[in-house]
A and B are shown apart, each in its own frame.
Chain A
Amino acid sequence: MKESKNLFDRISEQVSRGLAQNTSRRGLFGLLGAGIVGMSSIPLLPVARAAGNGQPQASDLQESGDDQSCDYWRYCSIDGFLCTCCGGSVNTCPPGTEMSPITWIGTCKNPEDGKSYIVSYNDCCGKSGCGNCLCNTNEGDRPMYVPAKSNDINWCLGTQSSVYHCSTAIVVGMAFE
């Protein structure tokens, strides 16, 4: 028992001395600082918020095509300016705009795997209309008197500003076949 304690003591002494002689405290703080800054810069993508629970994430998708073109599969039911042409992406709003939490939802078939997915067309709000890449595809769109299924409505609801800028197309799940 005594011997194993001595052995343990010797090992810890060697490790401590080694650390003290070969590393600097500033180096450790630098490393920790870099870690903290690095972690906080990983963005919280809105796709995770919109996707909710138990449904496939956009990252699992096999996709092809140009997401700045109205023909891109996710835009089968869109009515507005593409955020991909306005400084944002298919899942994120351009800087200086706010994503509407209230949104128009449709389904589109992905030609890559032939499956239908549920797409949430969250509008980005707070700047005047972007004006680039206007698309009006409207698959499954219903008249204004069925408001929950109509994409002619300004869906900038629940945002600080109701001024429409552009539309995203976030995959939030797989349709039931």
Chain B
Amino acid sequence: MALLLDNHQMAGTIETLEELVRVLDVESRPAGYMDALLRLSITPEMLAPFCQWNTRHYTRQCIHRTREHELILICYEEGQRTSIHDYDSQMAWIKPLMGTVQEERFKIATGGSLKRHGQRVLETGRLAYMATKSCIHRHSNAGPGRAVTLNLYARPIRSWRVYDERTGLASLLGTTEAGGE
């Protein structure tokens, strides 16, 4: 399931990552997570100290983690993207803080091939929700210039599986599954 949520005005805008972390630690329900992320409005200047850039690949910075959730800042140079992957976390919220990100969804078709079955564009400030269990997907920097997303996972990720996009096939531990890069 994937939802794209409108940013809405509400009292108590969160303007720093430190403030967001304090709120998340108090509010551990999914609705609370969503509310906190919707209230987040951070300027590029406030964000800059947390960003790390690499011309070879996108970067992942862990901003905060508890047993219940973890907050990851992902920085994409122009043209960079994640692998086609899935992981074991149950829920994820993705909020672009800079630039535009494209999300592609994949599913395993009959015969084990990997088929793209959906995509959406996440603009700066929009919040996307993803029920991530067994959700094969990829995020790419869709625009010119850099892009930064803030991803909140509940619970923290413990496993990560990368698929091969070239053939659309991937064998996992003896089980034939569809795949991409």
Q: Do A and B come from one complex?
A: no
B-contacting residues of A (Cβ < 8 Å)? none
